[in-house]
Each structure stands twice: as C-alpha cells, then as structure tokens.
Copies of this chain bind each other. A is one copy, B any other.
Amino acid sequence: MRLDRYFPILDWGRHYTGTTLTSDLVAAIIVTVMLIPQSLAYAMLAGLPPVVGLYASILPLVAYALFGTSRTLAVGPVAVVSLMTGAAAGTVAAAGSADYIAAALILATLSGLFLLAMGLMRMGFLANLLSHPVVSGFITASGIIIATSQLKHILGIEASGHAMPELLFGLWTNIGQINGPTVAIGIASLLFLFWVRQGFKPLLVRVGFAERPADLLAKAGPVFAVIATIAAVVLFELEDSGVDTVGIIPTGLPPLGAPLFDPDLWLALAIPALLISIIGFVESVSIAQTLAAKRRQRISPDQELVGLGAANIAAGFSGGYPVTGGFARSVVNFDAGAETPAAGAFTAIGIAVAALLLTPLLQALPVATLAATIIVAVLSLVDFKTPVTTWRYSKADFSAMAITIAGTLLLGVETGVIAGVALSLALFLWRSSRPHAAIIGRVPNTEHFRNVKRHTVITLPHVLMIRVDGSLTYLNARWLEDYVLGHVADRPELKHFVLMCSAVNEIDASALESLEAINRRLADADVEFHLSEVKGPVMDRLKSSHFLDMLTGDIFLSQDRAFRELARRNGDADVPSADTDPNGPRGLI
C-alpha cells in the first residue's frame, strides 16, 4: 500500500489496456506538436539556448509519469518559471555563458530537491504561504514583464533586464536599431496567433471539421506560424536582412551528467530555487486539481511534490532547466483524451524524436516568431479583473496583491513574491493577534447570548461575560490579557467575570499562562474568574495543567447556567432559577 502511494504507476499501470494506449498516444502526438515551439520559446525567455527547452521536455516528463498523481498534467518548461530561472541565473552569470547554463541546471536540481524534501516530509502546507492574491498578482506582473521582455525580439533590437524599469529603459535607448523585416515577421506572427485563438476554430468547423478535432487543430496554431516564418526566412534569405534566427540547434539526445557542484553557487541560488519550486508547485497543483475534479479523480498534493521534484531533478541531470505543469498544455492533453501519465512519457518520446530529427529544420526559425508565441501565451496570464474584485472583497487581500504586483514589476520577481508573502503573513498574524470578541448578554426569554452592541440583551451589573471567537494562542494571549483586564478596570462594581469558550478550539501554553495571569490579577482585584462552554478536548488539556486548581471561579457547562448561577449568587431575583432549566441538569454546575 505504501509503495502504491509513492509509485502511482503501480496503481494505474495495473489497469492499462489497448484502448488506454490509443487514447494516450493520440494525446501525446498533439501535445508534442504544441510543445516543440513552446519549449524552444521558453528556453529563449529564460536566456538559455533553445535546445535546453527540448531537453527539459524529455526526461522530466518520464520522471513525472512515474511519480506524479495527476492523470493529465503536462509537465515541461512554462513561462513564469522560465522568467524566474532567467532572473536567478542572471544574478550569478552572464546570459548565454556556460556558467549561466550551469546555474539553470543547479536551479532545476535544487528546486527538485526542495520539492522532493517537502513531499517526503509532508510539508506541502508551506505552499499555503502563497495566498491566492499573491499568486494571482505575481502571475499578472510576470505576464507583463515577459511580454515586455519579448518586444525586443519583435523589434529586432538589443535590451535586457528582469524588471520593468530596466526593460523599458533598454527598449527606449535602442529603439533606433529597429529592424524592418523582423518587425514584419513579428507583427504578422502576433496577428496570426491572436486570430488563431479566436477565429481558427470557427473557420475549421465551417469548412466541415468536427468540434473536437477543430479545437485541437486550433490549439496547434503556433506550428503553422513556425512553418510559415521558416519558409519566409529561407525563401527571402531574410537572415541577410538582419532577421535573427534560432540558429544551429545541436542534434541528439540530452547529455546526462550531474550538475556542477559549487557550494557557494548552490547557496546563492537556494532562495530563488525555493521560490521557483513553490510557485511551480502552486500553479501545477491547481491545474492538476481542476482537471482531476472534472473526472472525479483525486490527486495527492504531497505526492505531487514528489512527482515534480523527480521531474526537476531529472531536468538538472539531463541538460534541462526548472519545469512544472503548464496550463494550456495540460488542457490540450486532457481534451485530446489522455487517460494516464503514460501520455506524458509518450510526449517525451515525441520530443526526443524531434531533438534527433527535426532540429536542422528549425535552424531558420525567426526568434521574432518565438517571441510572438510567448507574448500571445502570456497575455492570457495578465488579469486586471481579479485586482478589482479583490479590492471590492477585501482591502487586506488587495494590499497583498498590490505589493506583489508593484514589487515584481519594479524590483523583480523574487522581491515581488517575498514582499507579497511577507505582507500576507504579517496581516494574518495581525488578525490572529486580535480575534473578534464581544461582551455578551442574554437574549430575553431564551438561552441565547449575544453581543451587547448588536442586540437588546440582559446583563448583570456584577457580572462581565465575554465571548472570544477564536482559539487562544500565543499570538493573541497578550491581547486577551489587555482586553479582559481593560474591561475589568473600567468596572469597579464587578464581582464575576465569565469567559465563554464556545469558539475556542485550542488553548496553547502561552494562552494558558495568560489565563493564569488573568486569574491572578482578577483575584488581586477581588473578581472571580469563570469559564463556560469549554470544549471537550480543550477541557482535557486544561485538566493536565494546574490551572483548574488555582481558578478562583467555576467551569459552567453552558453560558446560561453561568448566567443564572451568578445572578442567584448576587440575589438578582428577576432571573429564572436553575430549576427551570428545560434541558435538565447537565453537570455539576
């Protein structure tokens, strides 16, 4: 059973049939066609030779097929992770240098190791630190940066940088170098690709294609742009007119070997690798979950960490760079009928064949075409609607999103994510440090107790009753002391204080200490401290401490009993006595 968990292939492999094989093969062929230009383009986006993108689409896919739990996730190079890889490698080496490629391999290996460690230690919960507004803001900002960074290829000019100010400054200063034929290819590719997204499928349907083949063919649109622009370059000898092309791509299978081991370099790349692994995981798992739910399948997030970890380690040992599940590609895989992770392994074979046979054909592929496919792909990531709805829903969440977008655009991807995570966490800790609490009173003629500020309720002058809507932890322990003692200090006539614990699921050691301090200080002020509606597990814990021995007051099973008993002790006659309790005795008090 445990083996099943770590090797999902043992589960789905057992039921593999000829029909499944056919479905997986068809999906693999379609994904391969889509993945070839994508993998070249994303490698270029990461500042790496195009062939690295192909290498990253071979062994990593096989590794994920062995260890991943999603039936349909298509793993490989993706835009955001490519941007992050380029930004990180750029801090330790010059783009295109051997050290730069070595850094990309180290990033893949390191993020694979992080993912694997998190998976084996069941630490997937750390990915929760990336709240949805932070991820959404980060993706939008990354999309803007990526699209801007590709403009230079469309215009045929030089520019560099991983944040907007640099990028815009670079474009601005070199705008004079603009190359006419490159712009023509770039703009034509852009227009074609935008049209393919909207108009190609209806056209195919109109000329007689069935719905599903038309859809899949439309998704392969970029391939037509690739073929057409290669043809244009070859026919019109555009390389001589200054059109930049992919150039010679080495033919052959990925080089196997361990990444360079340089402790200083590994240390310098550790934080970026961690961010790459977490961002990649969060994106991948949400795609995998969405697709799994459509077929009432399940994925295991902890095992997904293992699967993606294995894929990245495979990338690091086979000349690739960091990979994760890609959205568009996975949807195509799903729609094309992939049934098991074997489809991914077949895609890997397809890419390997391409690396062996097709690379000479791609030599004349204009870089502007690849840039256009990137721009069209990433502009769908840019989302200006979510910031608006988030602003309307929650100012705190919006502020985390805003700082992520601003930080990413202005200071770079790592700073942006870290700022967003830090602000989300600070806001969460701040909210946790002051849970909602209310002074409560009894709703007349009921056993219900409600906030005195919102309802007309009965209170007793000698009794203060407070309900805290949350667990008592070290983050709010001091707040609790301030809150309770502040209200007590305001009311010199007070004799009893009741803490209603109906919403308290936990009392940690710090909060226990605070309850003891409250008890002591209330005793100094001659006020008895009572608790009511303490949950079973919390009560069990309290019994293991000395708190109950020193508590000056009582523990009441219900707030209503506390109210009636304390009213009786003070001789307030207008409150029904405990004898009339319709639910009968529920305990000592």
Which residues of chain A have a CB within 8 Å of any CB of chain B? 125, 127-129, 131-133, 285, 289-290, 293-294, 296-298, 301, 389-390, 392-394, 396-398, 424, 428-436, 469-471, 473-479, 481-482, 485-486, 489, 492, 503, 505-506, 508-510, 512-514, 517, 520-521, 524-525, 541, 544-546
Contact = CB atoms under 8 A, between A and B. Distances in A.
B298 A489 contact: yes
B132 A393 contact: no
Contact of A508 (B396, B469, B479, B506): B396
Nearest to A436: B505
B290 A127 contact: no
A475 B509 contact: no
B506 A431 contact: yes
Contact of A541 (B301, B393, B520): B393
Contacts of A393: 509, 512, 541, 544-545
Q: State the oligomeric state as a number of copies.
A: 2
A277 B469 CA distance: 31
A297 B434 CA distance: 22
Which of A298, A489, A505, A508 counts the most chain B CB atoms within 10 A?
A: A508
B436 A486 contact: no
A536 to B, nearest CB: 8
A474 B131 contact: yes
Nearest to A125: B433
A321 to B, nearest CB: 27
Contact of A127 (B424, B478, B513, B524): B478
A417 B431 CA distance: 23
22 contacts: A128-B433, A128-B478, A128-B479, A129-B475, A131-B474, A131-B477, A132-B474, A289-B485, A289-B521, A293-B485, A293-B520, A294-B521, A296-B524, A298-B489, A301-B478, A389-B545, A392-B545, A393-B512, A394-B509, A428-B432, A428-B475, A470-B505
A557 B514 CA distance: 36
Contacts of A509: 131-133, 390, 393-394, 397-398
A467 to B, nearest CB: 11
Given A424-B474, A429-B125, A521-B293, A397 B131 contact: no
Contacts of A492: 296
Contacts of A289: 481, 485, 517, 521
B128 A508 contact: no
A298 B485 contact: yes
Given A128-B479, A132-B510, A397-B508, 16 more contacts: A125-B429, A125-B430, A125-B475, A131-B508, A133-B510, A290-B521, A296-B492, A296-B524, A298-B486, A393-B512, A394-B508, A394-B509, A396-B508, A431-B506, A436-B505, A503-B505
